[in-house]
């Protein structure tokens, strides 16, 4: 699930500046991606996903078109993957950020 999650979140992660390539910044971006991923798996509406983002990540500015892009990305590229992400962590080792994610069906 870890590699899949990072691949799915690339539209968010690729927008980070070089100095933002930290475990903390990755965590914030992956949190958004996971809410969208799990919402699509659960067949939630776009509005429900946006509401969940507002509840789970208060104070976070979420750009609607980016959420739409992630919803579409999940449906097109990862449609067969019905796992729910139930936990994750990010950490740095050397000059790289690593991700460990747990999932359930």
Per-domain residue ranges of the chain: 2-104
Distance, CA of 62 to CA of 46 (rounded, Å): 13
What local confidence, expressed as pLDDT, does residue 9 receive? 97
pLDDT tens-place string over residues 11-68:
999 998 888 899 999 999 999 999 999 999 999 999 999 999 999 988 888 889 999 9
- Residue 100 tokens, joined: 């460990």
The one-character DSSP state at 83 is: P
Cα separation, 83 vs 94, in Å, equals 30
Return the closest-CA partner of residue 75 out of 103, 39, 101.
39
Looking at residues 66-73, what average pLDDT do you find? 97
Prediction pTM value: 0.93
């Amino acid at each position: 699930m870890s590699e899949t999650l990072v691949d799915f979140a690339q539209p968010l992660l690729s927008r980070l500046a070089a100095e933002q390539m930290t475990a903390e910044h990755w965590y914030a971006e992956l949190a958004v991606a996971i809410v969208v991923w799990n919402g699509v798996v659960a067949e939630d509406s776009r509005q429900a996903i946006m509401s969940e983002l507002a509840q789970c990540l208060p104070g976070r500015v979420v750009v609607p078109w980016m959420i739409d892009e992630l919803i579409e990305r999940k449906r097109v590229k990862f449609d067969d993957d019905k796992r729910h992400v139930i936990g994750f962590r990010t950490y740095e080792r050397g000059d790289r950020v690593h991700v460990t994610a747990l999932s359930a069906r």
